[in-house]
Amino acid sequence: MSFLDISNVSKSFANAAVVNRVSLEVARGEFFALLGPSGCGKTTLLRMIAGFETPDSGSISIDGETMTDVPPHLRPTNMVFQSYAIFPHLNVFDNIAYGLRKEGLSKQGLRAKVQAMLETVRLEGLEGRAPDQLSGGQRQRVALARALVREPKLLLLDEPLGALDKRLREAMQVELRALQRKVGITFLLVTHDQQEALSLCDRIAVMDQGRILQIAGPRELYEHPNCRAVADFIGEINFFHASVRQIDQTTVTVNAGLLGTLTLPRSNLAPGIGLHDHILLAIRPEHIGFVDPLKGMLTGEIVDANFLGERSLFHIRIAGRNQPIAVSSSATPPASSVHLAFPSEFLVGLSSD
Protein backbone atom coordinates (compact mmCIF):
# COMPACT_ATOMS: atom_id res chain seq x y z
CA MET A 1 0.00 0.00 0.00
CA SER A 2 1.26 3.49 -0.86
CA PHE A 3 1.82 5.96 1.96
CA LEU A 4 0.12 8.91 0.23
CA ASP A 5 -2.65 7.91 -2.17
CA ILE A 6 -4.38 10.53 -4.33
CA SER A 7 -7.18 9.10 -6.46
CA ASN A 8 -9.01 11.03 -9.21
CA VAL A 9 -8.89 14.33 -7.33
CA SER A 10 -10.40 17.38 -8.99
CA LYS A 11 -10.85 21.00 -7.89
CA SER A 12 -12.42 23.96 -9.67
CA PHE A 13 -12.68 27.65 -8.83
CA ALA A 14 -15.32 29.78 -10.58
CA ASN A 15 -16.07 26.85 -12.91
CA ALA A 16 -12.43 26.66 -14.04
CA ALA A 17 -10.72 23.31 -13.41
CA VAL A 18 -7.50 23.90 -11.46
CA VAL A 19 -6.81 20.23 -10.63
CA ASN A 20 -8.29 17.73 -13.07
CA ARG A 21 -8.65 14.04 -12.11
CA VAL A 22 -5.17 13.71 -10.61
CA SER A 23 -4.04 10.34 -9.31
CA LEU A 24 -0.65 9.52 -7.82
CA GLU A 25 1.00 7.44 -5.14
CA VAL A 26 3.93 8.37 -2.91
CA ALA A 27 5.90 5.77 -0.97
CA ARG A 28 6.77 6.03 2.71
CA GLY A 29 10.05 7.87 3.19
CA GLU A 30 10.12 9.16 -0.39
CA PHE A 31 11.19 12.66 -1.42
CA PHE A 32 8.56 13.49 -4.05
CA ALA A 33 8.03 16.67 -6.08
CA LEU A 34 5.10 18.32 -7.83
CA LEU A 35 6.79 20.30 -10.60
CA GLY A 36 5.24 22.68 -13.09
CA PRO A 37 4.75 26.29 -14.19
CA SER A 38 2.73 28.81 -12.22
CA GLY A 39 -0.98 28.06 -12.38
CA CYS A 40 -0.58 24.36 -13.19
CA GLY A 41 -2.45 23.28 -10.03
CA LYS A 42 0.44 21.99 -7.92
CA THR A 43 -0.10 24.32 -4.94
CA THR A 44 -3.85 23.69 -4.95
CA LEU A 45 -3.15 19.96 -4.85
CA LEU A 46 -0.74 20.48 -1.94
CA ARG A 47 -3.36 22.52 -0.06
CA MET A 48 -5.92 19.74 -0.53
CA ILE A 49 -3.45 17.25 0.96
CA ALA A 50 -2.96 19.61 3.92
CA GLY A 51 -6.72 20.09 4.30
CA PHE A 52 -6.79 23.80 3.49
CA GLU A 53 -8.89 23.10 0.38
CA THR A 54 -11.56 20.45 -0.14
CA PRO A 55 -11.58 18.35 -3.34
CA ASP A 56 -14.71 18.57 -5.49
CA SER A 57 -14.28 14.86 -6.18
CA GLY A 58 -11.83 12.05 -5.58
CA SER A 59 -10.07 10.95 -2.41
CA ILE A 60 -6.85 11.50 -0.48
CA SER A 61 -5.48 9.05 2.06
CA ILE A 62 -2.35 9.18 4.22
CA ASP A 63 -0.90 6.06 5.76
CA GLY A 64 -4.10 4.13 5.00
CA GLU A 65 -6.46 6.71 6.52
CA THR A 66 -8.88 8.65 4.33
CA MET A 67 -8.54 12.39 4.90
CA THR A 68 -11.98 13.43 3.60
CA ASP A 69 -13.41 14.55 6.95
CA VAL A 70 -10.14 15.18 8.81
CA PRO A 71 -9.48 18.88 9.56
CA PRO A 72 -6.00 20.31 8.84
CA HIS A 73 -4.84 20.36 12.48
CA LEU A 74 -5.61 16.67 12.92
CA ARG A 75 -3.89 15.48 9.75
CA PRO A 76 -0.44 13.81 10.11
CA THR A 77 1.10 16.61 8.07
CA ASN A 78 2.91 19.88 8.55
CA MET A 79 3.80 22.54 6.02
CA VAL A 80 6.76 24.81 5.30
CA PHE A 81 5.95 27.93 3.29
CA GLN A 82 8.08 30.03 0.94
CA SER A 83 7.64 32.99 3.30
CA TYR A 84 8.81 30.81 6.26
CA ALA A 85 5.84 32.11 8.35
CA ILE A 86 7.94 32.18 11.53
CA PHE A 87 6.82 34.52 14.31
CA PRO A 88 8.88 37.74 14.35
CA HIS A 89 8.19 38.38 18.06
CA LEU A 90 9.49 34.97 19.19
CA ASN A 91 13.08 33.84 19.38
CA VAL A 92 14.36 30.69 17.64
CA PHE A 93 13.62 28.40 20.62
CA ASP A 94 10.07 29.66 21.07
CA ASN A 95 9.33 29.49 17.34
CA ILE A 96 10.32 25.83 17.26
CA ALA A 97 8.53 25.09 20.54
CA TYR A 98 5.31 26.85 19.55
CA GLY A 99 3.52 23.80 18.20
CA LEU A 100 4.64 21.61 21.11
CA ARG A 101 3.19 23.71 23.90
CA LYS A 102 -0.33 22.30 23.39
CA GLU A 103 0.88 18.70 23.65
CA GLY A 104 1.16 18.65 27.45
CA LEU A 105 4.89 17.98 27.55
CA SER A 106 6.85 18.69 30.69
CA LYS A 107 9.15 21.68 30.57
CA GLN A 108 12.15 19.35 30.52
CA GLY A 109 10.62 17.17 27.77
CA LEU A 110 9.80 20.18 25.62
CA ARG A 111 13.31 21.58 25.99
CA ALA A 112 14.84 18.20 25.09
CA LYS A 113 12.78 17.93 21.88
CA VAL A 114 13.58 21.49 20.80
CA GLN A 115 17.27 21.02 21.58
CA ALA A 116 17.38 17.82 19.54
CA MET A 117 15.75 19.59 16.62
CA LEU A 118 18.19 22.51 16.89
CA GLU A 119 21.00 20.01 16.48
CA THR A 120 19.25 18.31 13.56
CA VAL A 121 19.02 21.56 11.60
CA ARG A 122 22.40 22.85 12.83
CA LEU A 123 21.14 25.85 14.80
CA GLU A 124 22.76 24.99 18.13
CA GLY A 125 23.63 28.11 20.08
CA LEU A 126 21.18 30.32 18.18
CA GLU A 127 18.07 29.49 20.20
CA GLY A 128 17.97 32.95 21.84
CA ARG A 129 18.17 34.94 18.61
CA ALA A 130 15.27 36.85 17.09
CA PRO A 131 14.32 36.07 13.46
CA ASP A 132 15.67 39.43 12.24
CA GLN A 133 19.09 38.44 13.58
CA LEU A 134 19.23 35.38 11.32
CA SER A 135 20.29 34.90 7.72
CA GLY A 136 17.79 33.71 5.12
CA GLY A 137 19.14 30.17 5.33
CA GLN A 138 18.92 30.17 9.12
CA ARG A 139 15.31 31.40 9.03
CA GLN A 140 14.50 28.62 6.58
CA ARG A 141 16.01 26.07 8.98
CA VAL A 142 13.89 27.48 11.82
CA ALA A 143 10.77 26.95 9.67
CA LEU A 144 11.86 23.39 8.91
CA ALA A 145 12.61 22.69 12.57
CA ARG A 146 9.23 24.04 13.69
CA ALA A 147 7.48 21.81 11.14
CA LEU A 148 9.51 18.69 11.96
CA VAL A 149 9.54 18.93 15.75
CA ARG A 150 5.95 17.67 15.94
CA GLU A 151 7.04 14.56 14.05
CA PRO A 152 4.56 14.66 11.15
CA LYS A 153 4.27 11.62 8.92
CA LEU A 154 4.30 13.87 5.85
CA LEU A 155 6.12 17.19 5.43
CA LEU A 156 4.66 19.49 2.78
CA LEU A 157 7.05 22.04 1.26
CA ASP A 158 5.53 24.89 -0.74
CA GLU A 159 8.35 26.54 -2.75
CA PRO A 160 10.45 26.52 0.46
CA LEU A 161 13.63 27.91 -1.11
CA GLY A 162 12.04 30.39 -3.51
CA ALA A 163 12.91 33.47 -1.43
CA LEU A 164 16.64 32.67 -1.27
CA ASP A 165 19.32 33.91 -3.65
CA LYS A 166 20.84 31.39 -6.10
CA ARG A 167 23.95 30.49 -4.10
CA LEU A 168 22.09 30.11 -0.81
CA ARG A 169 19.28 28.21 -2.51
CA GLU A 170 21.75 25.67 -3.90
CA ALA A 171 23.40 25.28 -0.50
CA MET A 172 20.01 24.78 1.15
CA GLN A 173 19.09 22.13 -1.42
CA VAL A 174 22.02 20.05 -0.20
CA GLU A 175 20.97 20.61 3.41
CA LEU A 176 17.33 19.79 2.71
CA ARG A 177 18.19 16.49 1.04
CA ALA A 178 20.53 15.55 3.89
CA LEU A 179 17.84 16.49 6.43
CA GLN A 180 15.23 14.33 4.69
CA ARG A 181 17.56 11.34 4.76
CA LYS A 182 18.35 11.96 8.42
CA VAL A 183 14.77 12.23 9.69
CA GLY A 184 13.46 9.59 7.26
CA ILE A 185 9.93 10.95 6.84
CA THR A 186 8.07 11.54 3.58
CA PHE A 187 8.68 14.93 1.95
CA LEU A 188 6.37 16.37 -0.72
CA LEU A 189 7.84 19.40 -2.48
CA VAL A 190 6.03 21.89 -4.70
CA THR A 191 8.33 23.84 -7.00
CA HIS A 192 8.56 25.43 -10.44
CA ASP A 193 12.37 25.09 -10.38
CA GLN A 194 13.40 22.15 -12.56
CA GLN A 195 16.96 22.02 -11.24
CA GLU A 196 15.68 21.98 -7.66
CA ALA A 197 13.33 19.07 -8.32
CA LEU A 198 15.92 17.10 -10.29
CA SER A 199 18.62 17.48 -7.64
CA LEU A 200 16.45 16.86 -4.57
CA CYS A 201 13.81 14.29 -5.33
CA ASP A 202 13.46 10.55 -5.77
CA ARG A 203 10.53 10.98 -8.15
CA ILE A 204 8.80 13.93 -9.79
CA ALA A 205 5.29 14.50 -11.10
CA VAL A 206 5.28 17.10 -13.89
CA MET A 207 1.99 19.02 -13.97
CA ASP A 208 0.41 21.29 -16.54
CA GLN A 209 -3.11 22.74 -16.75
CA GLY A 210 -4.27 20.75 -13.74
CA ARG A 211 -3.13 17.37 -15.03
CA ILE A 212 -0.12 15.14 -14.43
CA LEU A 213 1.87 14.65 -17.63
CA GLN A 214 4.51 12.23 -16.35
CA ILE A 215 5.73 10.71 -13.09
CA ALA A 216 9.30 9.41 -13.08
CA GLY A 217 12.72 9.68 -11.49
CA PRO A 218 14.93 12.66 -12.37
CA ARG A 219 17.08 10.83 -14.93
CA GLU A 220 14.09 9.22 -16.62
CA LEU A 221 12.30 12.58 -16.90
CA TYR A 222 15.37 14.26 -18.33
CA GLU A 223 16.45 11.54 -20.76
CA HIS A 224 13.06 10.01 -21.65
CA PRO A 225 10.28 12.61 -21.44
CA ASN A 226 6.95 11.20 -22.61
CA CYS A 227 5.67 14.33 -24.39
CA ARG A 228 6.80 17.66 -25.79
CA ALA A 229 5.54 19.64 -22.79
CA VAL A 230 7.70 17.63 -20.36
CA ALA A 231 10.71 17.70 -22.68
CA ASP A 232 10.39 21.47 -23.12
CA PHE A 233 9.93 22.17 -19.40
CA ILE A 234 12.80 20.02 -18.12
CA GLY A 235 15.88 21.89 -19.36
CA GLU A 236 16.83 23.01 -22.87
CA ILE A 237 16.20 20.63 -25.75
CA ASN A 238 16.23 20.51 -29.55
CA PHE A 239 13.33 19.24 -31.69
CA PHE A 240 13.39 17.88 -35.24
CA HIS A 241 10.33 16.90 -37.27
CA ALA A 242 10.31 13.33 -38.55
CA SER A 243 8.02 10.53 -39.71
CA VAL A 244 8.11 6.87 -38.71
CA ARG A 245 9.08 4.58 -41.59
CA GLN A 246 9.64 1.24 -39.87
CA ILE A 247 9.14 -0.31 -36.44
CA ASP A 248 10.52 -3.67 -35.38
CA GLN A 249 11.07 -5.36 -32.03
CA THR A 250 14.12 -3.32 -30.98
CA THR A 251 14.49 -0.35 -33.34
CA VAL A 252 12.58 2.42 -35.08
CA THR A 253 13.59 3.92 -38.43
CA VAL A 254 12.54 7.49 -39.17
CA ASN A 255 12.85 9.98 -41.98
CA ALA A 256 14.10 13.14 -40.27
CA GLY A 257 14.38 15.66 -43.08
CA LEU A 258 17.69 17.52 -42.75
CA LEU A 259 19.06 14.67 -40.65
CA GLY A 260 18.24 12.01 -43.23
CA THR A 261 17.18 8.50 -42.28
CA LEU A 262 17.94 7.53 -38.68
CA THR A 263 17.50 4.45 -36.52
CA LEU A 264 16.89 4.74 -32.80
CA PRO A 265 16.01 2.25 -30.04
CA ARG A 266 12.31 1.39 -29.94
CA SER A 267 12.42 2.02 -26.18
CA ASN A 268 13.09 5.70 -27.01
CA LEU A 269 9.72 6.03 -28.73
CA ALA A 270 6.92 7.47 -26.59
CA PRO A 271 3.83 5.26 -26.09
CA GLY A 272 1.06 5.48 -28.68
CA ILE A 273 3.25 6.28 -31.71
CA GLY A 274 2.75 4.03 -34.73
CA LEU A 275 3.95 3.45 -38.26
CA HIS A 276 3.78 6.51 -40.59
CA ASP A 277 3.06 8.88 -37.68
CA HIS A 278 4.59 12.35 -37.76
CA ILE A 279 6.71 12.81 -34.65
CA LEU A 280 9.22 15.08 -32.98
CA LEU A 281 12.75 13.86 -32.36
CA ALA A 282 14.16 15.43 -29.18
CA ILE A 283 17.81 15.60 -28.14
CA ARG A 284 19.57 17.44 -25.32
CA PRO A 285 22.28 20.03 -26.15
CA GLU A 286 25.03 18.07 -24.36
CA HIS A 287 24.52 15.08 -26.68
CA ILE A 288 25.39 17.11 -29.80
CA GLY A 289 29.10 17.53 -30.55
CA PHE A 290 31.38 19.49 -32.85
CA VAL A 291 33.04 17.13 -35.36
CA ASP A 292 35.26 17.10 -38.44
CA PRO A 293 33.51 18.03 -41.73
CA LEU A 294 33.52 14.45 -43.02
CA LYS A 295 31.69 13.21 -39.90
CA GLY A 296 29.15 16.02 -39.73
CA MET A 297 25.40 15.43 -39.94
CA LEU A 298 24.66 19.17 -40.05
CA THR A 299 26.63 22.32 -40.92
CA GLY A 300 25.87 25.73 -39.48
CA GLU A 301 27.05 29.06 -38.11
CA ILE A 302 27.42 29.98 -34.44
CA VAL A 303 25.08 32.90 -33.75
CA ASP A 304 25.41 33.01 -29.97
CA ALA A 305 27.67 31.57 -27.25
CA ASN A 306 27.10 31.76 -23.49
CA PHE A 307 29.97 30.86 -21.18
CA LEU A 308 28.67 28.74 -18.28
CA GLY A 309 31.88 27.71 -16.51
CA GLU A 310 33.08 24.25 -17.51
CA ARG A 311 30.84 24.33 -20.59
CA SER A 312 29.41 26.87 -22.99
CA LEU A 313 25.97 26.91 -24.61
CA PHE A 314 26.13 27.61 -28.33
CA HIS A 315 23.24 28.39 -30.64
CA ILE A 316 23.83 27.26 -34.22
CA ARG A 317 21.87 28.49 -37.25
CA ILE A 318 21.25 25.74 -39.79
CA ALA A 319 20.18 26.43 -43.39
CA GLY A 320 16.56 25.38 -43.94
CA ARG A 321 15.68 25.49 -40.24
CA ASN A 322 14.07 28.44 -38.41
CA GLN A 323 15.05 27.51 -34.85
CA PRO A 324 18.77 27.53 -33.94
CA ILE A 325 20.20 24.30 -32.55
CA ALA A 326 21.46 24.44 -28.96
CA VAL A 327 24.80 22.71 -28.28
CA SER A 328 26.39 22.41 -24.85
CA SER A 329 30.11 21.73 -25.07
CA SER A 330 33.39 22.18 -23.22
CA ALA A 331 35.14 22.54 -26.60
CA THR A 332 35.57 25.90 -28.31
CA PRO A 333 35.24 25.70 -32.10
CA PRO A 334 38.10 27.38 -34.00
CA ALA A 335 35.68 29.13 -36.38
CA SER A 336 32.06 30.27 -36.49
CA SER A 337 31.27 27.66 -39.16
CA VAL A 338 30.81 24.29 -37.46
CA HIS A 339 29.83 20.70 -38.19
CA LEU A 340 27.56 18.81 -35.81
CA ALA A 341 26.82 15.17 -35.11
CA PHE A 342 25.21 13.06 -32.40
CA PRO A 343 24.55 9.38 -31.65
CA SER A 344 21.00 8.40 -32.61
CA GLU A 345 20.54 6.44 -29.36
CA PHE A 346 20.16 9.79 -27.55
CA LEU A 347 17.16 10.75 -29.69
CA VAL A 348 13.70 10.44 -28.15
CA GLY A 349 10.64 10.15 -30.38
CA LEU A 350 7.61 12.14 -29.14
CA SER A 351 4.13 12.76 -30.45
CA SER A 352 3.94 15.93 -32.57
CA ASP A 353 0.49 16.80 -31.16
Domain that holds residue 145: 4-227
CATH of residue 312: 2.40.50
Find which of 78-82, 270-274, 302-306 is predicted with most confidence, using mean pLDDT: 302-306
- The pLDDT value recorded for residue 291 is 94
CA 36, 37, 43: angle at the middle one, nearest 5? 70
- The pLDDT value recorded for residue 166 is 80
* Rounded-to-integer distance, Cα 220 and Cα 302, Å: 30
* Region of residue 314 (left: phi > 0; alpha: psi -120 to 50; beta: else): beta
Q: Are 34 and 178 members of one domain?
A: yes
- Among 251, 211, 247, CA closest to 227: 211
Position 231 pLDDT exceeds 90: yes
Out of 86-100, 107-121, 164-178, 269-283, pick the least confident.
Answer: 164-178
Q: Are 240 and 194 members of one domain?
A: no
Q: Are 183 and 318 members of one domain?
A: no
Measured in degrees and rounded to the nearest 5, phi and psi for residue 229 equal: -60, -40
> How many CA atoms are closer than 13 Å to the CA of 12, on its beta-carbon side?
8
Q: Which residue has the higher pLDDT, 352 or 298?
A: 298
Q: Quick one: pLDDT band at residue 178, thresholds 50, 70, 90?
A: confident
Instruction: Give the H or E element holding residue 190.
Output: strand 186-191
Q: Are 48 and 110 members of one domain?
A: yes
Domain limit, last residue, from 179, 198, 227: 227
Position 196 pLDDT exceeds 80: yes
Q: Mean pLDDT over residues 4-33, rounded?
A: 96
Q: Quick one: pLDDT band at residue 190, thresholds 50, 70, 90?
A: very high
Out of 50-54, 145-149, 229-233, pick the least confident.
Answer: 145-149
Mean pLDDT of the chain: 91
Q: Are 257 and 313 members of one domain?
A: yes
Q: Mean pLDDT over residues 149-173, rounded?
A: 84
- The pLDDT value recorded for residue 119 is 87
Out of 63-77, 137-151, 294-308, 325-339, pick the least confident.
Answer: 137-151
Q: Are 223 and 240 members of one domain?
A: no
* Rounded-to-integer distance, Cα 259 and Cα 173, Å: 40
Coil, strand, or helix at residue 50? helix
Out of 42-51, 158-167, 197-206, 306-315, pick the least confident.
Answer: 158-167
Q: Are 304 and 246 members of one domain?
A: yes
Instruction: Please provide the DSSP assignment of 216-268 as one string.
Output: E-HHHHHHS-SSHHHHHHSS--EEEEEEEEEE-SSEEEEE-GGG-EEEEEGGG
Q: Are 96 and 240 members of one domain?
A: no
The predicted-structure confidence for 240-251, as pLDDT tens digits, reads as follows 999 999 999 999
The predicted-structure confidence for 67-119, as pLDDT tens digits, reads as follows 988 999 999 999 988 777 788 899 999 999 988 887 778 888 899 989 988 88
Q: Mean pLDDT over residues 310-320, rounded?
A: 93
Domain count, the chain: 2
Q: Are 66 and 190 members of one domain?
A: yes
Q: 3-state SS of the chain: helix, strand, coil percent to 5? A: 30, 35, 35
Position 353 pLDDT exceeds 80: no
Q: Which residue has the higher pLDDT, 173 or 12?
A: 12
Provide the b/e sequence for 279-301 (b: ≥16 CB within 10 Å).
Answer: bbbbbbbbbbbbeeeeeebbebe
Q: Are 201 and 261 members of one domain?
A: no
- The pLDDT value recorded for residue 335 is 87
- The pLDDT value recorded for residue 1 is 64
As a whole-number percent, the residues of the chain with pLDDT over 70 amount to: 99
Q: Which residue has the higher pLDDT, 318 or 171?
A: 318
Domain limit, last residue, from 209, 227, 245: 227
Q: Are 51 and 167 members of one domain?
A: yes
Domain limit, last residue, from 227, 244, 262: 227
Q: Are 59 and 170 members of one domain?
A: yes
